[in-house]
Amino acid sequence: MSNQISTLRQEFTARLDAVTSVTELEEIRVEYLGKKGSVTGLLKSMKDLSAEEKKTFGQEVNVLKNEVTDAIAKKTEALRQEELEREIQAMPEFDVSAPPVLDRGSFHPITLVQRECEEIFKSMGFVVEDYSEIVTDYECFEALNIPKHHPARDMQDTYYLTNGQLLKSHTSAAQNAIYKKYSKALFEEGKPIRAIFPGRCFRNEATDACHENTFFQMEGVMVDKNISISNLIFFMKNMLSEVFKRDVKVRLRPGFFPFVEPGFELDISCAICGGDGCPSCKNSGWLELCPCGMIHPEVLKAGGIDPEEYTGFAFGLGLTRLAMMKYGIKDIRDLNSGSLKCMSQFTEDK
- Give the residue ranges of DSSP H helices in 131-288: 137-140, 175-188, 229-244
Among 315, 322, 325, 342, binds ligand PHE (CB under 6 A): 315
Element (H, E) at 323: helix 319-327
Rounded to 10 deg, the angle between the 2-18 and 51-90 helix axes is 0
For ligand PHE, the closer of residues 174 and 343 by Cβ is 174
DSSP assignments along 273-314, one per residue: TTTS--GGGTTTTEEEEEEEEEEPHHHHHHTT--TTT-EEEE
The DSSP 8-state label assigned to residue 156 in this structure reads: G
Span near ligand PHE by CB under 6 A; candidates 15-23, 232-240, 271-279, 289-297: 289-297
Q: Does 170 sit near ligand PHE (CB under 6 A)?
A: yes
Neighbours of 217 (CB within 10 A): 24
Binding mask 123-162 vs ligand PHE (x if CB under 6 A, - otherwise)?
Answer: ----------------------------------------
Q: Rounded to whole angstroms, how far apart are CA atoms 325 and 261?
A: 28
Q: Give the SS3 label for residue 94.
A: coil
Among 8, 316, 334, 346, binds ligand PHE (CB under 6 A): 316
Q: How many residues bind ligand PHE (CB under 6 A)?
A: 12
Among 109, 258, 291, 303, binds ligand PHE (CB under 6 A): 291
The DSSP 8-state label assigned to residue 160 in this structure reads: B
CB of 242 to ligand PHE, least distance (A): 19
CB of 107 to ligand PHE, least distance (A): 24
Q: Give the SS3 label for residue 5.
A: helix
For ligand PHE, the closer of residues 8 and 227 by Cβ is 227
Q: Rounded to whole angstroms, how far apart are CA atoms 276 and 23?
A: 20
Among 172, 320, 344, 345, binds ligand PHE (CB under 6 A): 172
CB of 173 to ligand PHE, least distance (A): 8
Q: What residues between 220 and 279 interact with ligand PHE by CB under 6 A?
A: 257, 260, 263
Q: Rounded to whole angstroms, how far apart are CA atoms 178 and 76?
A: 40
Q: What angle do CA 69, 151, 70 make, to 5 degrees?
A: 10
Q: Does 178 sit near ligand PHE (CB under 6 A)?
A: no
CB of 164 to ligand PHE, least distance (A): 21
CB of 203 to ligand PHE, least distance (A): 9
**Closest residue by beta carbon to ligand PHE:** 316
For ligand PHE, the closer of residues 170 and 330 by Cβ is 170
Among 292, 299, 332, 343, binds ligand PHE (CB under 6 A): 292
For ligand PHE, the closer of residues 291 and 303 by Cβ is 291
- Give the gyration radius of the chain's Cα atoms: 24
The DSSP 8-state label assigned to residue 124 in this structure reads: T
Q: Rounded to whole angstroms, how far apart are CA atoms 86 and 268?
A: 19
Q: What residues between 200 and 219 interact with ligand PHE by CB under 6 A?
A: 219
Site for ligand PHE, rule CB under 6 A? 170, 172, 219, 257, 260, 263, 291-293, 314-316
